C-alpha cells in the first residue's frame, strides 16, 4: 500500500496524540510533572527490517513477504517499506533483482534481514534451508561489492561473513559524538532518531546527581557511555555474551575510563549485592568501593522482578527506561511508597503501532 508523505504525517500525528493522552491518563495517579514527548520522523525511521522470502510457484520469482496476524499461510508481498531507513529502501529492490537472477542466491532462501546505520552502512543477512558452499560464497562476494554492504549467509550451524557482521552507528549526546558497534545478532534500538533523543533525555535527567551509577540490562552500552559522564564510576551488568563483547568494544572505542561491565543477570547481581551469593565473575570488582547514588534499569517487557524491584527501591535515584508502560506503572506504584516521580517521558520508538517507550526518574522523598 502506497502512502504519500502528507498522509503518513497526518496518520502519525493522530496516533501520537492518542499515545500521549493514554500515557498521561495512566500515570496521573502519581501526580507526575508535565509529560515530555519525543516524536519520531513519520517515515524512514526504522534501521532494521526482516522479511520472509516467498517463492511464487507460478512464476518462480522470489518476493519479500510478511504475514498479517490472524491470517495464516497467506503471504502479503512487500513492494515498498516506507518506515524503513533510506538505505533499506535503496537495497531492497536491488537485492531482490540479484536473488531472482541467480539460483546460487535464490535456492532455498527463506529470509532476508537488514541492519543499517544513519550514515548508510548496512549488513544484509540471507538465511537458507541448505548448506552454503563455495559457489554461494563467490556470488555473495560479488553481491557485497555491487550493493556496497556487508553480507552474511546463515544456515543450520553455518555462518559465512563477507565484510563485517556489524555496523557502526553514531549518536550525539550533549555535544559529544559516540560511536557504537552494532552486531547483527545483538539487540539495538530500531529507531536511531528516537534513540538519540532518549540518550540525551536520560543524560540530562542525571545532571548534578553525582555519586556512582549501577546499571542493569546494559546491552551494548548504549546508555552506559553517555551516562558515564554524569557519575564518578559506573558498574553495568548484562547477561548476553554478544552484548557484553560489544559493550567492551564500545567502551574502549569511546575512551570511557570509569565503566566496569559484569556479565550476569539482574537477579544474580541482586543476590551478590545483598550478600546472598558470591560470584567468580565479580572477583575483580570491589563492590564496597562504589558510592551508588543512582540505579538505571532498561528491562524487558516483563519489567522488574520483585527482587530487582526491592533492590532498586534502596537507591536514592531510579532512572527507568521501559518498553511496556503497564509494567512500568506497576513498578512505579511500588516505588511510590518511598520515591516521587519527578520526570516522565514518552519516546515514540514504534510509530504506527500501539507500542510506547517511556522514561521515568524517581527520587527518594526526604
Quick: pLDDT tens for 149-185: 999 999 999 999 999 999 999 999 999 999 999 999 9
Q: What is the pLDDT of residues 245-286, one digit of tens each?
A: 999 999 999 999 999 999 998 888 888 888 888 888 888 888
Higher pLDDT, 10 or 251: 251
pLDDT band at 9 (very low <50, low <70, confident <90, very high): confident
pLDDT at 286: 86
At 83, list the grid cell: 518506515
pLDDT tens readout for residues 325-345: 999 999 999 999 999 999 999
List pLDDT tens digits, range 211-250: 999 999 999 999 999 999 999 999 999 999 999 999 999 9
Question: How far apart are alpha carbons 75 and 62 in whole angstroms?
Answer: 12
C-alpha distance from residue 276 to each of 258, 304, 336 (Å): 27, 19, 26
The grid coordinates of residue 337 equal: 511508597
**What pLDDT does 72 receive?**
74
At 64 the pLDDT is 97
* DSSP secondary structure string for all residues of 100-117: HH-HHHHTTEEEEEEEE-
- The 10s digit of each residue's pLDDT in 46-90 is 999 999 999 999 999 999 999 888 777 788 999 989 999 999 999
Q: Nearest CA to 216 among 289, 332, 300?
A: 300
Q: 284-336 pLDDT, tens per residue? A: 888 889 999 999 999 988 899 898 999 999 999 999 999 999 999 999 999 99
What's the average model confidence in pLDDT over 19-32?
97
**C-alpha distances in angstroms, 285 versus 282, 290, 297?**
5, 10, 20
Closest CA to 147 of 79, 95, 86: 95
**pLDDT at residue number 8:** 65
Q: Which helix (H) or strand (E) holds 358?
A: strand 357-364
Structural domains of the chain ordered from first start: 5-42+169-364 (3.40.50.150), 48-166 (2.40.50.1070)
Cα torsion angle, 205, 228, 210, 303, sign = positive
**Tens of pLDDT, residues 203-212:** 999 999 999 9
What is this structure's pTM? Answer: 0.92
For the CA atoms of 79, 188, 35, 19, the dihedral, rounded to the nearest 10 degrees, stands at 30
C-alpha cell read off for 195: 534513540
Instruction: Sort strands 212-216 and 176-183 into parallel, antiparallel or unpaired.
Output: unpaired
Give the residue-averaged pLDDT of 100-128: 98
Cα–Cα distance measured from residue 127 to residue 113, given in angstroms and rounded to the nearest whole number: 8
Q: Distance between CA atoms of 28 and 353, rounded to whole angstroms?
A: 23
- Largest Cα–Cα separation, the chain: 72
Q: Coil, strand or helix: which one is 17? A: helix
**Is 50 exceeded by the pLDDT of residue 1?**
no
Cell of 138: 563467490
Please, what is the average pLDDT of the chain? 94
Q: How far is 342 from 351, CA to CA, in rounded Å?
A: 26
Residue from 56, 323, 354, 358 carrying the catalytic annotation: 323
For 113-142, what is the mean pLDDT? 98
Q: Is the pLDDT score of 189 beyond 80?
A: yes
Question: Which residue's C-alpha cell is 517521558?
Answer: 345
How many CB atoms sit inside 10 A of residue 318's CB? 25
In whole angstroms, give the CA distance from residue 184 to residue 181. 10
In the structure, what pLDDT confidence band is assigned to residue 4 with cuts at 50, 70 and 90?
very low
What's the confidence (pLDDT) of residue 69?
Answer: 80
The number of angstroms, rounded, from the C-alpha of 5 to the middle of its chain's C-alpha atoms is 26
Q: Examine the pLDDT at 21 and tell me if it is beyond 90.
A: yes
Q: With bands split at pLDDT 50, 70 and 90, how would you rate the model's confidence at 6?
A: low
Nearest to 256 by CA among 293, 231, 287: 231
Residue 323 bears catalytic tag: yes
Other beta carbons within 10 angstroms of residue 320's beta carbon come to 25
Q: Are 164 and 123 in contact (CB under 8 A)?
A: yes
- pLDDT at site 271: 86
Residue 126's CB is within 10 A of a number of other CB atoms, namely 24
Over pLDDT 90: what percentage of the chain? 83
Q: Are 304 and 329 in contact (CB under 8 A)?
A: no
- Of 121, 169, 309, 357, the active-site residue reads 357
Are the C-beta atoms of residues 307 and 227 closer than 8 Å to each other? no
Please determine, for residue 5, whether its predicted confidence score (pLDDT) is greater than 60: no
Residue 46 sits at φ, ψ, to 5 deg, of -90, 125
- Does the annotation count 103 as an active-site position? no
Amino acid at each position: 500500500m502506497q502512502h504519500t508523505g502528507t498522509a503518513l504525517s497526518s496518520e502519525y500525528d493522530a496516533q501520537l496524540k492518542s499515545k500521549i493522552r493514554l500515557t498521561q491518563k495512566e500515570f496521573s495517579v502519581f501526580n507526575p510533572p508535565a509529560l515530555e514527548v519525543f516524536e519520531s520522523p513519520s517515515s524512514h525511521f526504522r534501521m532494521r527490517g526482516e522479511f520472509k522470502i516467498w517463492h511464487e510457484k507460478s512464476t518462480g520469482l522470489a518476493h519479500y513477504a510478511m504475514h498479517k496476524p490472524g491470517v495464516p499461510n497467506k503471504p502479503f508481498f512487500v513492494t515498498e517499506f516506507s518506515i524503513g531507513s533510506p538505505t533499506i529502501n535503496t537495497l531492497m529492490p536491488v537485492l531482490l533483482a540479484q536473488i531472482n537472477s541467480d539460483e546460487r542466491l535464490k535456492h532455498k532462501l527463506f529470509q532476508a534481514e537488514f541492519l543499517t546505520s544513519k550514515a548508510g552502512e548496512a549488513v544484509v543477512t540471507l538465511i537458507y534451508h541448505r548448506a552454503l558452499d563455495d559457489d554461494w560464497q563467490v556470488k555473495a562476494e560479488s553481491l557485497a561489492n555491487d550493493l556496497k554492504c556487508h553480507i552474511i549467509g546463515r544456515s543450520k550451524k553455518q555462518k559465512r561473513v563477507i565484510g563485517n557482521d556489524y555496523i557502526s552507528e553514531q549518536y550525539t549526546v550533549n555535544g559529544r559524538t559516540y560511536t557504537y558497534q552494532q552486531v547483527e545478532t545483538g539487540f539495538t534500538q530500531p529507531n536511531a532518531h528516537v534513540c538519540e533523543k532518549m540518550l540525551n533525555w536520560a543524560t540530562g535527567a542525571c545532571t548534578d546527581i553525582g555519586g556512582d551509577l549501577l546499571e542493569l540490562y546494559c546491552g551494548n552500552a548504549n546508555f552506559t557511555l553517555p551516562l558515564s559522564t554524569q557519575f564518578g564510576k559506573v558498574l553495568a551488568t548484562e547477561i548476553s555474551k554478544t552484548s557484553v563483547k560489544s559493550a567492551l568494544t564500545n567502551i574502549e572505542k569511546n575512551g570511557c575510563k570509569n565503566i566496569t561491565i559484569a556479565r550476569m543477570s539482574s537477579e544474580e547481581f541482586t543476590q551478590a549485592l545483598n550478600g546472598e551469593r558470591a560470584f567468580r565473575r565479580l572477583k575483580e570488582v570491589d563492590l564496597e568501593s562504589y558510592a551508588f547514588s543512582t540505579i538505571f534499569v532498561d528491562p524487558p517487557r516483563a519489567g522488574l522482578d520483585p527482587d530487582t524491584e526491592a533492590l532498586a527501591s534502596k537507591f536514592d535515584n531510579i532512572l527507568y527506561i521501559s518498553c511496556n508502560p503497564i509494567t512500568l506503572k506497576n513498578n512505579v506504584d511500588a516505588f511510590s511508597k518511598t520515591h516521587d516521580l519527578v520526570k516522565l517521558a514518552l519516546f515514540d520508538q514504534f510509530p504506527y503501532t500501539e507500542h510506547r517507550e517511556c522514561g521515568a526518574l524517581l527520587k527518594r522523598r526526604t
